[in-house]
A and B are shown apart, each in its own frame.
Chain A
């Protein structure tokens, strides 16, 4: 079945460091891919998405490119801030009609001043 694997955390970085959180997926067909973020004490928010191969999703300085050849959707940011500290979830939505999301296990990011 469809699944998402993302790197385990926590990831601890200093402010202004470069961030990469790896995400790979297994799916039949052509899923849409998402990154969600959960800030402390808050609900899940959509960060960015890509719906087809080679699409790049971007938002708030974060980027991720849908790579079908490597079945990956790695999240990157050039310069993280303390306010980026949160849990990040990679997810896919398969192509059937249910639109359910399949999530990775989440990666906690801690950015220190």
Chain B
């Protein structure tokens, strides 16, 4: 597609429920990144994919967070047993293998009530 597409744009969930956030990268971009933007923590890196592999998962805050990527394209970030501190905007970005064309999506605003 023309840009990085994320869905849903907004998600309200009850504490303890699982949520899935989707990212559709720019066509042909082999690298995909997830970031989190929250009031207390600023903008922080979560995980990086190159193709379907995730060589850097260092930013995932707990084992409740996981992500996968299939077909070298769409990625899903899953948060299990959501907590109020998970409330944030989750941003996805994609780039070419060499890091060029780095582009962010508009994000998913997650609110845990």
Evaluate contact between B44 and A103: CB separation under 8 angstroms. yes
Q: Please tell me if the beta carbons of B43 and A100 are within 8 angstroms of each other in the complex.
A: no
Q: Which residue of B35, B99, B104 contacts A99 across the interface (Cβ within 8 Å)?
A: B99
Query: Separation in Å of the B51 CB from the closest CB of chain A?
Result: 13
Residues of B with C-beta under 8 A to A44: 91, 104
Is A70 on the interface with B (CB-CB < 8 A)? no
Is A100's CB under 8 angstroms from B56's CB?
A: yes
Q: Which residues of A contact B95 (CB under 8 A)?
A: 99
Asked whether B25 is an interface residue with its Cβ less than 8 Å from the other chain, the reply is: no
B91 pairs with A43, CB closer than 8 A: yes
Q: How far is the CA of A30 from the CA of B96 in the complex (A)?
A: 20
Flag whether A27 is at the interface (Cβ < 8 A): no
Whether the pair B48, A99 counts as a contact (CB closer than 8 A) is yes
Chain A residues contacting B102 (CB-CB under 8 Å) are 46, 99, 101
Instruction: Judge if A89 is at the interface, Cβ distance under 8 Å.
Output: yes
- B45: chain A residues within 8 A (beta carbon): 100-102
A45 to B42, CA, bound (A): 16
Complex Cα gap A100–B55 (Å)? 11
Residue B107 contacts which of A43, A101, A106 (CB distance < 8 angstroms)?
A: A43
**Chain B residue nearest in CB terms to A45:** B104
A28 at the interface (CB under 8 A from B): no
- C-alpha spacing A42/B105, complex, angstroms: 9
CA distance A43 to B45 in the complex (A): 16
Task: Note all chain A residues with C-beta closer than 8 A to B56.
Answer: 98, 100
Q: Chain B's nearest CB lies how many Å from the CB of A60? A: 18
Within the complex, the shortest CB–CB distance from B12 to chain A, in Å, comes to 18
**In the complex, what distance in Å separates the CA atom of A75 from the CA atom of B57?**
31
- What 1/0 flags go to A26-59 for Cβ under 8 Å of B? 0000000000000000111110000000000000
B42–A103 touching, CB < 8 Å: yes
CA distance A98 to B95 in the complex (A): 11
Task: Produce 1/0 per residue, B1-42, CB < 8 A to A.
Answer: 000000000000000000000000000000101010000001
B52 within 8 A of A: no
